Amino acid sequence: MKVEQIKLDNALMNFNYILYSQETKNAWCVDPFDAGRIKAFLEQHQLTLKGILTTHGHWDHTQGNQELQNHYQCSIIDRESEGNFTFDEHYFLSCESIPGHTMDHLLFLLLKDGKQQAAFVGDTLFHNGVGNCKMGGDVELLYESVLKLKTIIDPEARVYPGHDYVDSNLAFSLDLMPDDEILKKEKKIVAEEDLRGERYTFARELKTNLFLNCDSEKLQKHIAQKYAINIDSEKECFMALRKLRDRW
């Protein structure tokens, strides 16, 4: 099964995804913002849409649902659906609840013969950042869900977020940690190569995403000193980081 990443040119820089099989010509899409773009790709590749995966209910992740459902008579897999989903004899979709950005947020893991290929993380995790909780979310739940991601996503799985916020997230990270060699190197790599898409592994996020490194004593001390606040735990570090990013 292939994954097509479509970067939209809207102000929110949404990513849409199409999962498809070249053998069966069946397809599923994730969080369609622009039904026209999805339809154009499906028609170009002679694919039939079998279902729509909705990571969460925000309008910019669901506005294409109705048009696509009417056109293809396909199902919607979201919070209301029951559990996991089997595509075919090899491919399987595992759905996990990860509330925080919104209460209804889901993680979709695409597995081939039991091995994770891709993680569709919606607005819970972005490249070098995490989602905010300003539109119906809860930051404590987001923290718990991010911990959960660290335990369940395979480091080799590709990470597919809902928006392309890598540039601003890296700028924030470097503003906070201007001397961090890993972040400086990452900024250079991202500026020189287009890393969106299949080259973003969860291992890369684990290395370069500050929100996944709140257990780092170095990061905790740095934030505490820079902002003259007390940080005594991973959770306090995460909360402080989210607050700083909200104000940045």
- Rounded to a whole number of angstroms, the minimum distance from the CB of residue 103 to Fe ion is 12
Write down the least CB distance from residue 60 to Fe ion, Å. Answer: 7
Nearer to Fe ion, 51 or 162 (CB): 162
Contact positions with Fe ion (CB under 5 A) in 37-66: 58
As a dihedral over the C-alpha atoms of residue 143, residue 148, residue 154, residue 158, rounded to 10 degrees, the angle is -40
Contact 154, 115 (CB under 8 A): yes
Instruction: Please identify, using beta-carbon distances, which residue of 39 and 58 lies nearer to Fe ion.
Output: 58
Cα separation, 50 vs 96, whole angstroms? 21
Q: Which lies closer to Fe ion via its Cβ, residue 78 or residue 186?
A: 78
Whether 222 and 241 have beta carbons less than 8 Å apart is answered as no
Cβ of residue 102: shortest distance to Fe ion, in angstroms?
6
Residue 135 beta carbon to Fe ion: minimum distance, rounded to whole angstroms: 6
| Whether 174 contacts 191, CB under 8 Å | no
**Within the chain, where are the H helices?**
35-44, 59-62, 65-72, 139-152, 166-176, 181-192, 202-208, 217-227, 234-247
Tell me the one-letter amino acid at 240.
A
- Closest distance to Fe ion from the beta carbon of 52 (Å): 16
- Binding flag, residue 105, Fe ion (CB under 5 A): no
Q: How far is CA 192 from the centre of its chain?
A: 22
Smallest distance, Å, CB 163 to Fe ion?
Answer: 8
Q: Which is nearer to Fe ion, 123 or 180 (CB)?
A: 123
| CA-angle at 123, arms to 118 and 127, nearest 5° | 65
Binding segment for Fe ion (CB under 5 A), chosen from 69-77, 104-112, 119-127, 202-210, is 119-127
The tokens of 6 are what? 């479509």
123 binds Fe ion, rule: CB under 5 A: yes
Looking at the Cβ atoms of 58 and 204, the one nearer to Fe ion is 58
Q: Which stretch binds Fe ion (CB under 5 A): 37-45, 46-54, 112-120, 121-129?
A: 121-129
* Residue 163 lies near Fe ion (rule: CB under 5 A): no
- For residue 86, give both structure tokens: 């089997």
